[in-house]
Structure 1
Amino acid sequence: MSELHARHRKVLPDWLALYYEDPLEITHGEGRHVWDAEGNKYLDFFGGILTTMTAHALPEVTKAVSEQAGRIIHSSTLYLNRPMVELAERIAHVSGIPDARVFFTTSGTEANDTALLLATTHRRSNTILAMRNSYHGRSFSAVGITGNRGWSPTSLSPLQTLYVHGGVRGRGPFAGLGDAEFIEACVEDLKDLLGHTRPPAALIAEPIQGVGGFTSPPDGLYAAFREVLNAYGILWIADEVQTGWGRTGEHFWGWQAHGRSGPPDIVTFAKGIGNGMSIGGVIARSEIMNCLDANSISTFGGTQVTMAAGLANLSYLLEHDLQGNARRVGGLLIERLRAVAAQDPGVREVRGRGLMIGVELTKPGTDLADPDRAAAVLEAARADGLLIGKGGGHDTSALRIAPPLSLTVAEAEEGAAILEGALRSTR
């Protein structure tokens, strides 16, 4: 055990998860690569859990942070903050939500917590609809609506949570149906559920479930749900913490794959917008955002230095069409991985959109999850210079692949080749 690992274990919680049998200390990065404390170079296909969205050490972001830090780093929301107003204006514009208001937090957990506060206050209900296999953060309220047993350490909650079918296309009682029939069955299940309870405040849903292993329903499910929700006045919260900012390639927001009924009432975001800086937030229609009848502030949400990073990062993303790059390079990577999977009986499915790709591993000839092999693939990929993630609601047997959106074709091919070798060596 390394000296730093021993110190980590002595002063930090036992439940603070670490990857790898010999945990990795990352010391610096550039582009799509990072280096560890021993000087080993890795192609990064996980980006700090989908957070390094554009590139490591992106000069435009580094410059913006440095210049802002040289002026003032922080003042709280008690004072006017030009970078915060400017970023809020840009996010409101790209959100698709009419008369949008934006509130900044420091994380996706805090963003979802705020969305729950707004929805329950606006609707005068503490009942929340959430998706099975979902993950929304680690706060007390966010854990209470998380539908993934592996990330839900307590059943205690200030909310009543009802879990809905549909977030996982390939498993569960409706898995054998065609897409249209799958959506119809999930909608009928939702209607039946609502017939047995007082109207909930909101449905919160990830367009693509992140920690759940990059699973998603057929396009249009949440639009079909929305028609039912509207009849009851129930709000729709889209958790875009992992899917936002063009990562899925085909759309700027994940909800747009389900968007025939218009934008959500509330959108939460975090991770990629700061490219490593701590930015989260909530976008909502003005009457929802303004429903609170007490004063509030944020000490660290919207601080000047993080807002400067977000502005520079969003500008770079849009000016360099990284959404288009995610669509093009991600499409090639998915096809390359599907070709690899066709030769491996332990790969159940390669799924995803853009540069958000899941590879689900099962024991050959069965639907039984294979978390041991997933862990072994993670180790083998690292040994050959590739960092990936893992997740899933079925014993963490899905590999998660989410590189920075500036990934090149050559880097995609390099990563796919390393992953192919890791899969082959662990059969």
Structure 2
Amino acid sequence: MTALFDRHRAVMPEWLALYYRHPIEITHGEGRHVWDSAGNRYLDFFGGILTTMTAHALPEVTKAVAEQAGRIIHSSTLYLNRPMVELAERIAHLSGIPDARVFFTTSGTEANDTALLLATAYRGSNQILAMRNSYHGRSFSAVGITGNHSWSPTSLSPLQTLYVHGGVRSRGPYAELSDRQFINACVADLEDLLGHTRDVAALIAEPVQGVGGFTSPPDGLYAAFREVLDRHGILWISDEVQTGWGRTGDHFWGWQAHAQNGAPDILTFAKGIGNGMSIGGVVASARVMNCLDSNSISTFGGSPVTMAAGLANLSYLLEHDLQGNARRVGGLLLERLRAVGAQLPLVREVRGRGLMAGIELVKPGTDDAHPEAAAAVLEAAREGGLLLGKGGGHNTSVLRVAPPMTLTVAEAEEGAAILEQALRSV
């Protein structure tokens, strides 16, 4: 492993982050478990950054990929593509957006890039509203609307970005307010901000901030924002890269916790729909999607192989009610983690919904972020056979827990026990 690590450092950029003091090479997986090159078995509570959404080596998906690869692997969007049309039809129906059109990309970053292109072209403006502590991808334009400074390496941008309060409930100037007061204060902040600018193209927001540490506002905030946006003709982009497909348990899309009777103008998705295959995409009404007045294609977006994987994965997810499983098992896991956190001064908050849990760590007796403790817990959990993620807007001090959505009650208990031991050891 040391030799591979040395080779990695010799050819990869320094900013390409790796977990653990001694990084591991994952060689194969099955269900909710993976194995490294040394033969160690781990319960996977991060799923390749919420991407192995259903299960490792899911037979239905691997069979669909193999069969499609045996027919044709690639054609581009210049030719009719049956799996792409079939998946687009299903996603358009599930999106809740009237007269929906779907464009496929290869990643969430590219999906958000496309959403920004559509919004700015449709509105004739390069002004974007984004949430503080947000993350929307690695590209030049996506970095320009990222409110989490840890993931924004440059202030240069093709966009003029204005940041809005509301993505983080338990920190900041409105943290002590009630939920209703919090929403009212954030709406007043938005109204004030719009009073000092004009012709804003869109608000882009994650219903649950992923890299930001699984933070979210009170339910209803974005519905209240929508009322203001509509008065100004501003579009609402819901970034569902991490929250889509039922992971939050209560809803199929994260936006539905805020505005069940009013879908966003644009919805972006990626990660879990491919269960590891590179699929991203944008859903928008025809009036928005068709606003571009120049040609465009995608070489790899909508690949026959990835579309076959997406179709098989989506069918499995719906037929096995994985949203319901995320609600049930995720609820038990959150309850268990909150019980552990209540006993430890290291834990400031356990938050989340469904199979998205964030454990925020602080220096005991203070409200100060504790990234060293988060790194230590990550290491201890790995030693115990559990893989976790990290994040947060305060120096990466939040443990991110997001297992595949087929997680069983027994596996939830096993993972919680390992995580409890890791927390206590730190």
The alignment status of 1:378 with 2:378, answered yes or no, reads yes
Tell me which residue corresponds to 1:36. 36
Residues 53 and 403 in structure 1, CA contact (< 8 A), matched pair in contact too? yes
CA–CA distance in structure 2, aligned partners of residues 24 and 183 of structure 1: 43
SS at match of 2:367: coil
Match of 1:245 in 2: 245
1:312 match:
312
Which residues in structure 2 correspond to 1:220-231 (within 5 Å)? 220-231=220-231
Instruction: Name the amino acid aligned to 2:368.
Output: L
Contact 2:277 2:309 in 1 (8 A): yes
The equivalent residue for 1:60 is 60
Q: Identify the residue that residue 213 of structure 2 maps to in structure 1.
A: 213
In the alignment, which residue of structure 2 is the partner of 1:347? Answer: 347
Question: What residue is the counterpart of 2:258 in the other structure?
Answer: 258
**Structure 2 residue 10 is the aligned partner of structure 1 residue 10:** yes
| SS state at 1:146 partner | coil
Question: Which moves more between the two structures, 254-263 or 126-135?
Answer: 254-263
Residues 11-49 of structure 1 deviation map (CA, whole Å, 9 limit, x = unaligned): 010000000000010000000000000000000000000
Give the counterpart letter for 2:283 in structure 1: I
Q: Matched residue of 2:348: which SS?
A: strand
Alignment partner, residue 397 of structure 1: 397
Separation in 2, partners of 1:385, 1:205:
34
How far apart, in 2, do the equivalents of 1:133 and 1:210 lie?
Answer: 10
Amino acid corresponding to residue 37 of structure 1 in structure 2: S
Aligned length: 426
Q: Deviations over 1:366-424 (max 9, x none)?
A: 11000000000000000000000010000000000000000000000000000000000
Name the amino acid aligned to 2:403. P
Aligned to 2:134: 134
In 2, the alpha carbon distance for the partners of 1:187 and 1:46 equals 34
2:125 is the counterpart of 1:125? yes
Question: Match for residue 143 of structure 1?
Answer: 143
Q: Secondary structure, in 3 states, of the residue corresponding to 1:339?
A: helix
Contact in 2 for aligned 1:223/1:261 (Cα 8 Å): no
Distance in 1 between residues matched to 2:270 and 2:261, nearest whole Å: 24
**Match of 1:358, SS?**
strand
- Equivalent position SS for 2:272: helix
Matched, 1:27 2:24: no
Structure 1 residue 198, shift from structure 2 partner: 1.2
| Contact 1:76-1:301 at 8 Å conserved across structures | yes
- 1:184 & 1:357 partners in 2: Cα distance? 26
Unaligned runs of 5+ in 1: none
**Alignment correspondent of 1:322:** 322
For residue 260 of structure 1, report the CA deviation from its aligned partner: 4.4
Contact kept, 8 Å, 2:28 with 2:35, in 1: the verdict is yes
Deviation at 1:210, TM superposition (A): 0.1
Q: Which portions of structure 1, spanning 4 or more consecutive aligned residues, are displaced by more than 6 angstroms?
A: none
CA contact (8 A) 2:123 2:199 kept: no
| Residue number in structure 1 paired with 2:79 | 79
Equivalent position amino acid for 2:189 in 1:
D
Q: Deviations over 1:270-300 (max 9, x none)?
A: 0000000000000000000000000110000
CA contact (8 A) 1:150 1:393 kept: yes
Counterpart amino acid of residue 69 in structure 1: A
CA contact under 8 A between 1:106 and 1:280: conserved in structure 2?
Answer: yes
C-alpha distance after superposition, 1:321-358 (max 9, x if no partner): 00000000000000000010111011000000000000
In the alignment, residue 363 of structure 1 is paired with which amino acid?
K
SS of the aligned residue for 1:255 comes to: helix
TM-score by length of 1: 0.99
Letter in 1 for 2:15: W
**Is the 2:202–2:236 contact (alpha carbons within 8 Å) kept by the matching residues of 1?**
yes
- For structure 2, the 5+ residue unaligned runs are none
Q: Distance in 2 between matches of 1:275 and 1:259?
A: 27
CA deviations on 1:116-175 (whole Å, 9 max, x unpaired) are 000000000000000000000000000000000000000000000000000000000000
Give 1:152-167 correspondences, 5 Å limit: 152-167=152-167
- SS of the counterpart of 1:121? helix
Contact 1:127 / 1:162 at 8 angstroms: preserved in 2? yes
Instruction: For residue 259 of structure 1, give the secondary structure of its aligned residue in structure 2.
Output: coil
Q: 2-side partners of 1:217 and 1:338: how far apart?
A: 19
Partner Cα distance (1:198, 1:366) in 2:
41
- Secondary structure of 2:264's counterpart equals coil
SS at match of 1:292: coil
Question: Contact conserved, 1:226 with 1:261, CA < 8 A, in 2?
Answer: no
Provide the TM-score with structure 2 as the length reference: 1.00
Cα distance in 1 for residues equivalent to 2:197 and 2:17: 37
Query: Could you say what secondary structure the match of 1:312 adopts?
Result: helix
Give, as a single letter, the amino acid of the residue that structure 2 aligns with 1:124.
G
Q: Secondary structure at the match of 1:348?
A: strand
CA distance in 2, matches of 1:62, 1:260: 34
Aligned amino acid, residue 13 of structure 1 = P
- Cα distance in 1, alignment partners of residues 275 and 260 from structure 2: 30
What is the CA-CA distance between 1:199 and the residue it aligns to?
2.5
Mapped partners of 1:176, 1:339: distance in 2: 23
User: What is the identity, as a one-letter code, of the residue corresponding to 1:125?
Assistant: S
Q: Per the alignment, in what secondary structure is the counterpart of residue 29 of structure 2?
A: strand
SS at match of 2:258: helix
Q: Give, in whole Å, the separation in 2 of the partners of 1:210 and 1:341.
A: 20
Contact 1:240 1:253 in 2 (8 A): yes
Aligned counterparts of 2:338 and 2:148: Cα–Cα separation in 1: 26
* Further displaced range: 215-224 or 255-264: 255-264
Partner of 1:387: 387
| 3-state secondary structure, aligned to 1:130 | strand
Q: Is the 8 A contact 2:103 2:283 kept in 1?
A: yes
**1:148 alignment partner AA:** N
In structure 1, distance between residues paired with 2:261 and 2:331:
27
Q: 1:324 to 1:260 in 2, by over 3 A?
A: closer
In 2, Cα distance between equivalents of 1:297 and 1:381 = 44
CA deviation after TM superposition for structure 1 residue 365, in Å: 1.2
Structure 2 letter corresponding to 1:302: G
